[in-house]
């Protein structure tokens, strides 16, 4: 067994006495600033429950093709539903994964051209008729991970020496939450793009992975393996935290390399952003932190937007060109 290359943080310390709480915040500060990725343990979600979610993923992807196509994402202006292998792009290249996306269960808004395009993200999920228990299970899971993310976010506020509520007013009307069940098929080719290198657009991401490696993180020492750690979530920082902290916290590039032939890897990724109509605050950092904040990354291929809906929609449009063409044609013609 190889040793883990990312820090392990036990969030139960946050609920302990002042010493253990301080210890957790200190570790969080270092992990978030230097790597932007870590394992989270002590979160109170049982391995049994984690296994149930991965089992649901296995059941979904094993459904006959027509059952999956019946909930195809291309039929949803809200980017919900099934995407087959080949349907998603990262950095303009095809990813070797299939996935099922849900977000908060909402009613679609009646759109008109005067409204910002990101309002199209709001809407209902699509659910497969063949798995009647899936909706309740996944919405409940989404709620649990949402609560865990809010707790983590308040810890980040403390790390940045802000009031514990610093991010709370960007979540008042409900955080933007997004969840994917993912299957990475094995390939015989070397280093296939399961998902290409990218940053996540939100505040935070929690990844539940099965027993197979594949997730990799770009560090100062090159790509390192986020090898599975039983019971843990892999947490990474998204673009909104990088923006809010003026680059003190890093949204780290990561990717998934396809498993070898004969192996399939399942994961569940949960993304949490502020409410879509929020603008992420640029926090006023104390001098010693501000001195280490290098400003957010500036990449012409990936502009970062403080306006949350705009930043989220950016990621969705470039990832799902079929949905973009069908439902956001007015936007995709411009460029």
Contacts with ligand AKG by CB under 6 A lie at 180, 182, 195, 200, 207, 209, 215, 254, 256, 267, 269
- Least CB distance from residue 197 to ligand AKG, whole Å? 10
**Nearest residue to ligand AKG, scored by beta-carbon proximity:** 267
**Using H for helix, E for strand and C for coil, what is the string for 127-183?**
CCCCCCCHHHHHHHHHHHHHHHHHHHHHHHHHHCCCCCCCCHHHCCCCCEEEEEEEE
| Partner in contact with 121, chosen from ligand AKG, ligand ARG, Fe ion, none, beta carbon below 5 to 8 Å by kind | none
Q: Between 193 and 232, how does the x/- string for binding to ligand ARG read (CB under 6 A)?
A: --x--x-x--------------------------------
- Least CB distance from residue 120 to ligand ARG, whole Å? 16
One residue of 318, 323, 327, 328 binding ligand ARG per CB under 6 A: 318
Q: Which of 24, 176 has the CB closer to ligand ARG?
A: 176
- Least CB distance from residue 195 to Fe ion, whole Å? 7
- Least CB distance from residue 101 to Fe ion, whole Å? 13
One residue of 24, 87, 88, 166 binding ligand ARG per CB under 6 A: 88
- Least CB distance from residue 290 to ligand AKG, whole Å? 30
- For residue 215, the cross-strand partners are 256
Residue 54 and residue 266 in contact, taking contact as beta carbons nearer than 8 Å:
yes
| Partner in contact with 88, chosen from Fe ion, ligand AKG, ligand ARG, none, beta carbon below 5 to 8 Å by kind | ligand ARG
CA separation for the pair 53, 113 (Å, rounded): 39
- Least CB distance from residue 164 to ligand AKG, whole Å? 28
Give the torsion through C-alpha atoms of 185, 201, 322, 86, to 10 deg: -10
Scan residues 166-225 and list those touching Fe ion (CB under 5 A).
Answer: 200
Sheet holding 37-41, edge to edge: 8-10, 37-41, 233-237, 204-209, 265-273, 176-184, 98-103, 81-83
**Contacts with ligand ARG: how many residues (CB under 6 A)?**
9
CA separation for the pair 216, 228 (Å, rounded): 11
Give the torsion through C-alpha atoms of 202, 304, 160, 169, to 10 deg: -60
- Least CB distance from residue 201 to ligand ARG, whole Å? 6
Angle at 9 between CA 5 and CA 11, to 5 degrees: 160
- Strand-pair category, 233-237 with 93-94: unpaired
Q: Which of 224, 324 has the CB closer to ligand ARG?
A: 324
| Partner in contact with 90, chosen from ligand AKG, Fe ion, ligand ARG, none, beta carbon below 5 to 8 Å by kind | ligand ARG
State whether the Cα torsion 318-177-49-76 is positive or negative.
Answer: negative
Q: Where are the alpha helices (DSSP H) in 36-91?
A: 47-61, 65-69
What residue ranges bind ligand ARG (CB under 6 A)?
88, 90, 195, 198, 200, 271, 315, 318-319
């Amino acid at each position: 067994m190889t040793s883990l290359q990312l820090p392990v943080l036990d969030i139960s310390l946050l609920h302990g006495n002042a010493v253990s709480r301080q210890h957790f915040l200190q570790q969080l500060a270092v992990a978030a600033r230097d790597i932007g990725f870590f394992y989270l343990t002590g979160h109170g979600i049982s391995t049994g429950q984690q296994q149930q979610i991965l089992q649901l993923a296995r059941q979904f992807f094993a459904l006959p093709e027509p059952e999956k196509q019946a909930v195809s994402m291309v039929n949803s202006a809200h980017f919900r539903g099934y995407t087959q292998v080949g349907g998603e792009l990262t950095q303009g290249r095809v990813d070797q994964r299939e996935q099922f996306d849900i977000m908060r269960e909402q009613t679609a808004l009646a759109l008109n051209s005067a409204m910002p395009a990101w309002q199209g993200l709001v809407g209902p999920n699509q659910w497969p008729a063949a798995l009647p228990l899936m909706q309740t299970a996944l919405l409940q899971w989404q709620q649990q991970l949402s609560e865990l993310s809010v707790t983590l976010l308040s810890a980040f506020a403390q790390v940045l020496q802000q009031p514990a509520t610093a991010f709370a007013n960007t979540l008042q009307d409900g955080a933007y939450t997004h969840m994917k069940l993912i299957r990475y098929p094995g390939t015989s080719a070397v280093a296939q793009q399961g998902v290409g290198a990218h940053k996540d657009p939100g505040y935070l991401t929690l990844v539940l992975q099965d027993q197979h490696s594949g997730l990799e993180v770009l560090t100062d020492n090159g790509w390192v393996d986020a090898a599975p750690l039983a019971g843990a979530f892999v947490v990474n920082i998204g673009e909104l935290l990088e923006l809010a902290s003026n680059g003190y916290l890093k949204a780290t590039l990561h990717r998934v390399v396809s498993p070898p032939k004969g192996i399939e890897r399942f994961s569940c990724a949960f993304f949490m952003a502020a409410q879509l109509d929020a603008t992420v605050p640029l926090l006023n950092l104390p001098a010693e932190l501000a001195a280490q904040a290098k400003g957010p990354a500036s990449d012409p291929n990936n502009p970062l937007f403080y306006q949350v809906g705009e930043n989220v929609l950016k990621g969705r449009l470039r990832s799902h060109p079929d949905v973009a063409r069908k439902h956001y044609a007015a936007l995709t013609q411009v460029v």
